[in-house]
Amino acid sequence: MTEKLSDTARKTVLAPLLDNGWSMVEGRDAIVKTFTFEDFTQAFAWMTRAALWAEKWDHHPEWFNVYKTVKVTLSTHDVGGLSTLDAKLARKMDSL
């Protein structure tokens, strides 16, 4: 079962993500990042690739797409905050 990140895990797991453009959501235990692409087709293609990983890991992002930008918010609803699944999906999204 997935558990909420401990204070120690937050320091080691979240620090690289925050250094790579993710930020904490104010008033919520979640991280957010806006990805910008050349056009809508590239943004949608990236969302499709990310969706395949999200489905494989049964961990689905909150996201919002307008033209060439995709704003992604990650949090694990089952644990009421951030878990290792969020960090794993964030790293995958960064690599796509």
Q: What is the per-residue pLDDT across 54-91, written as a single tens digit (0 to 9) for each?
A: 999 999 999 999 999 999 999 999 999 999 999 999 99
Question: How many other β-carbons are positioned within 10 Å of the β-carbon of residue 52?
Answer: 12
pLDDT band at 1 (very low <50, low <70, confident <90, very high): confident
What average pLDDT does this structure show over 16-30? 97
pLDDT confidence of residue 46: 98
Query: pTM for this structure?
Result: 0.94
Domain ranges of the chain: 7-94
pLDDT band at 2 (very low <50, low <70, confident <90, very high): confident
Q: Which CATH class is domain 7-94?
A: alpha beta
CA distances from 2 to 8, 20, 29, 96 (A): 16, 24, 15, 24
DSSP the chain: ---BPPHHHIIIIIHHHHHTT-EEPTTSS-EEEEEE-SSHHHHHHHHHHHHHHHHHTT---EEEEETTEEEEEE-BTTTTB-BHHHHHHHHHHHH-
